Amino acid sequence: MPEFDLLTTTIIIGGLVAIVMSIVGYATLAERKVSAWIQDRVGPNRVGPLGLLQPLADGGKFFLKESPIPSHVDKIFYLLAPAAAMAIALLALAVVPWGGTTPPPKPVAVNMAADGKTPDYSKAVQRFDAEQGEYRNQFQGVIAPGLDIGIVYVFALGSLAIYGVILGGWSSDNKYSLLGSLRSSAQIISYEIPLGMSIVGVVLFAGSMNLETIIAWQKQNGWFLMFQPLAFLLFMVSVYAECNRLPFDLPEAEQELVGGYLTEYGSLKFGMFMLGEYTHMITTSFLMSIVFWGGWSLFGLEEVFTDPIAAAVLKAAILGGKMLGFLLLYIVIRWTIPRFRFDQLMGLAWKVMIPLSLLHLLAAMLVRQYGWSNWALTAISIGLFVAFGLVAAFKKIAPNNTPRRKVIPKMLPRVMVG
């Protein structure tokens, strides 16, 4: 374990939160700008040059707005919900690397001493101390380095984020809010499964749930995107559902649910929900680039600089660039795919993604067990995807817009006219 230094950690936390908050602010601006460009408009361009100060104006508006609490709400939970949404989203950032990292050293094996009977502890301790000392001296671009459960921690907090939505919907005492949060809980429960399953294959290959180790594996063997494209696809789709982003934004659904769980929220409380949502998007974008796109590695480009500071900056820039790319994809996808109907959403999760992720996990286990080449998994991955497409295309599907039971025509009572 690297030594814990309160001051450094505080500075890193403060800096990271500040950066993430700025990215959130500019993500909202990017959302509006890119949406405008896609729709052949200009987008916000009045506050500051090119509208670049728009996030400040938005934030100021959220702060200065009156913040009424409707009389019919459950006050405690109503106020707790946005706080939970935001706090949990920020907590998940703690283990996500944002720059160059080195994997924590593996446990040291204790060998037998020269006499072959007693275990030689001193040598093992020596080696352990040396490895730990070397690890301690290296700069880690992550708030909490060396956390062994890494990705499980992120997932645990990611699914906790839904508590904010459910609490908000329930305590608002409003039909639309409740419907929105119910949809959200159903959606999250469904998509957590393929989300977790798609990662297990990666964890099996990297041999660790620690995100730094996963990056190190990819640096050595190639990105997981190449070996498990299907897992990446499943992960990305599930993550879109987790973040309540289009095409899976049923919990908000402005068109039919007036904003869903956000209906009764205004001013800063609404702002905190938004903050949580965008922070979640940033965390998941980081995860996608770390787990499947090689983290800070980029075909050896990350080792151009020998100077440690320049190298650290470059690694952070590479990872940040990948993250921003995924963030942009979120926005572009929003205007590309129309929203799913709720039964289609559930059908996609339970009939397609869960079986696919289970089969993919099975394939990953087989490849590991029999020591086949990593590329075998690529082939299986693509094969599974195509096979599911074929099944869907050629099986008989019941038409889903006709009534399930026979329509009984009702005769209206005859009315004499005139």
Partner 1 sequence: MPIAESDIKWIEAPKLGFLEQLYLPIVYDGLKTTIGHIFGKSKTESYPEQEPKLPPNYRGVHRLNRDEQDRVKCVACYMCATACPAHCIDIVAAPAPAGWTDREKYPETFVIDELRCIYCGMCEEACPVDAIELTTLYDLTGYSREQLVFDKEKLLGIFDATTKSGTDPVRSRSGALGPASETAKA
Inter-residue contact 55 to 29 (CB < 8 Å): yes
18 binds partner 1 (CB under 8 A): no
Binding mask 193-232 for partner 1 (x = CB under 8 A): ----------------------------------------
Helices 229-242 and 354-370, axial angle in degrees (round to 10): 140
38 makes contact with partner 1 (CB under 8 A): yes
Q: Which of 201, 187, 200, 275 is nearest to 237 (CA)?
A: 187
Between 81 and 225, name the residue whose CB sits nearer to partner 1. Answer: 225
Complex with partner 1: residue 309 or 398, whichever CB lies closer = 398
Contact 84, 163 (CB under 8 A): yes
Residue 392 interacting with partner 1 (CB under 8 A): yes
Least CB distance from residue 360 to partner 1, whole Å? 16
Closer CB to partner 1, 34 or 87, in the complex = 34
Among 121, 335, 342, 350, binds partner 1 (CB under 8 A): 335
Residue 383 binding partner 1, by CB under 8 A: no
| Residue 12 to residue 42: CA distance in whole angstroms | 37
- Residue 344 as a binder of partner 1 (CB under 8 A): the answer is no
Residue 415 lies near partner 1 (rule: CB under 8 A): no
Closest CA to 100 of 339, 326, 294: 294
Residue 109 interacts with partner 1 (CB under 8 A): yes or no? no
For partner 1, give the closer residue by CB, 31 or 212. Answer: 31
- Least distance to partner 1 from the beta carbon of 336, Å? 4
Selected binder of partner 1 within 144, 333, 346, 376 (CB under 8 A): 333
Dihedral, CA atoms, 397, 401, 404, 408, nearest 10 degrees? -140
251 cis-preceded (ω within 30 degrees of 0):
no
Select from 88-96, 162-170, 315-323, 332-340 the region that touches partner 1 (CB under 8 A).
332-340
Q: Is 382 in the site for partner 1 (CB under 8 A)?
A: no
- The two tokens of residue 332 are 């572009």
Query: Widest CA span of the chain, in angstroms?
Result: 117
Q: How far is the CB of 404 from partner 1 (least distance, A)?
A: 12
Q: Which is nearer to partner 1, 137 or 344 (CB)?
A: 344
- Tell me the two tokens of residue 187: 């959606």
Which of 304, 337, 362, 365 contacts partner 1 by CB under 8 A?
Answer: 337
Other CB atoms within 10 A of residue 218 CB? 25
> Going by C-beta distance under 8 Å and a sequence separation of 6 or more, which residues neighbour residue 132?
1, 105
Query: Residue 51: how many CB atoms within 10 A of its CB?
Result: 18
Dist CA 206 CA 202 (whole Å): 6
Is residue 332 within the footprint of partner 1 (CB under 8 A)? yes
Which one of residues 3, 4, 39, 405 is an interface residue with partner 1 (CB under 8 A)? 39
- Interaction between residue 405 and partner 1 (CB under 8 A): no
Q: What is the DSSP letter of 299?
A: T
Q: How many residues bind partner 1 (CB under 8 A)?
A: 33
71 binds partner 1 (CB under 8 A): no
Amino acid at 377: L
Of 8, 11, 41, 125, the residue at the interface with partner 1 (CB under 8 A) is: 41
CB of 45 to partner 1, least distance (A): 8
- 64 near partner 1 (CB under 8 A): no
DSSP string, 320-384: HHHHHHHHHHHHHHHTTSPPPPHHHHHHIIIIIIHHHHHHHHHHHHHHHHHT--HHHHHHHHHHH
**Amino acid, res. 157:** L
Give contact residues for partner 1 (rule: CB under 8 A): 34, 36-42, 45, 233, 332-333, 335-337, 385-386, 388-390, 392-394, 397, 399-402, 407, 409-412
